[in-house]
Amino acid sequence: MDKDILICGVGGQGTVLASGIIAAAAMAEGNVVHSAETIGMAQRGGPVTSHVRIGDKAFSPLIPLNKADLIIGFEPSEVVRNIGYLSAQGIAVVNTTAVKPVTASLSGSGYDGSEMTAYLKKRGNCIFADATAECESLGSVRFLNILLLGIAAGSGRLGIKKETMMSVIEKRVPEKFREANINAFIKGYDIGSATGQG
């Protein structure tokens, strides 16, 4: 399998675990995988991206523009920031809840993500879900990353089996949150399959 997956969000949203899970699951299915994270200064409240590159034709650690088959977006403006990476046939999974940067609060700008979602709707090739609200209904926003992985897997665009994903998630998350994470994944998976993208 050759596949380029870009995960984007804001520092602290759990993107790193999400990319680790995809990488491990893709390897478990026998693929060569490379990935890269933005860490350091940029991590604190800044935009973060993880690039997961599956297959042996990828040499650059970062996905070139117009090459991503899938974007998993934890925040609408971060999807817009990275939309140039999406290939013509690619799909973006977009969480519609905005993370308001402190600069927006200070300047009183009313950023709430809606104009980003509107822009992406116009552009097309997106699956929208209020994943944050779905997580809250499960009890905590800390499972946002797993729920979004579920949507991506359910949409059929991830190219990794549901069972493989679930067994990796079980291994990767702390024992006491295992059940909650699996529930989040399944909830996401159902949302993803309902989009009929697969």
Partner 1 sequence: MKEYVMGNGAIALGALKAGVNVVCGYPGTPSSEIIETIAKYPHEGLHLEWSVNEKAALEVAAAAAYSGARALVTMKQVGLNVASDPLMSLAYVGVEGGMVVVSADDPGPISSQTEQDSRRFAEFARIPVFDPASAEEAFEMIQDAFTYSEKYKTPVIFRPTTRVDHGYAAIEAADTYTPKSFEGFKKDPGRFVIFPRLSYKNHGMIEERNVRIGEDLSSYRFNTAEGGPSAKAVLAGGISYMYAKEFLQDHPGVTLIRIATAYPFPESFMLDKLKGVEELLCLEELSPYLEEQVLKLAGRYGITLKVYGKISGHVPAMGENSADSVKNILKDFLGIESLESSGGVSDAPALPARPPVLCAGCPHRASFYAVKKAMEGEKTYYCGDIGCYTLGNAMPLDMVDTCLCMGAGVTMAQGFSHIDKDGKAFAFIGDSTFFASGMTGVVNAVYNEADITVCILDNSTTAMTGHQPHPGTGRNMMGHVIQKVSIPKILEGIGLTKVITVDPLDLKAAVSAVKECAGLKGVKAIIFKSPCIAIEKSSKKCTIGDDCINCKKCIRETGCPALSLSEGRVVIDASMCTGCALCSQVCPVSAVKGGV
How many amino acids of this chain bind partner 1 (CB under 8 A)?
55
Stretch touching partner 1 by CB under 8 A, among 37-45, 148-156, 166-174, 175-183: 37-45
Give the pairing type, strands 47-54 and 3-10: antiparallel
Give the closest residue to 84 by CA, choosing from 103, 104, 63, 100: 63
Question: Letter for the amino acid at 1?
Answer: M
Q: What is the Cα 121 distance to its own chain's centre?
A: 18
The answer to whether the CB of 134 falls within 8 A of the CB of 147 is yes
Q: Using CB under 8 A, which of the segments 111-119, 153-161, 165-173, 180-188 binds partner 1?
A: 111-119
Of 78 and 127, CB closest to partner 1:
78
Footprint of partner 1 on 61-80 (CB under 8 A): 61-66, 77, 80
Per the CB < 8 A criterion, the answer to whether 48 and 11 are in contact is yes
CB of 138 to partner 1, least distance (A): 14
Q: How far is the CB of 194 from partner 1 (least distance, A)?
A: 27
Name which position in 30, 89, 108, 196 contacts partner 1 (CB under 8 A): 108
Cα distances (Å, whole numbers) of residue 119 to 83, 101, 110, 188: 11, 19, 16, 23
**Sign, CA torsion 173/196/3/87:** negative
- 102/196 with CB nearer partner 1: 102
Contact flag: residue 41 with partner 1 (CB under 8 A): yes
- Interaction of residue 146 with partner 1, rule CB under 8 A: no
- Is 104 a binding residue for partner 1 by CB under 8 A? The answer is yes
The reply on whether position 28 binds partner 1 by CB under 8 A is: no
Query: Helix (H, G, I), strand (E, B), or coil: what is residue 33?
Result: strand
Cβ of 92: how many Cβ atoms within 10 Å? Answer: 27
List phi, psi (to 5°) of 53. -120, 115
Among 22, 30, 54, 60, binds partner 1 (CB under 8 A): 60
Contacting positions for partner 1 (CB under 8 A)? 10-12, 20, 23-24, 27, 32-47, 57-66, 77, 80-81, 83-85, 100-106, 108-111, 115-116, 119, 141-142
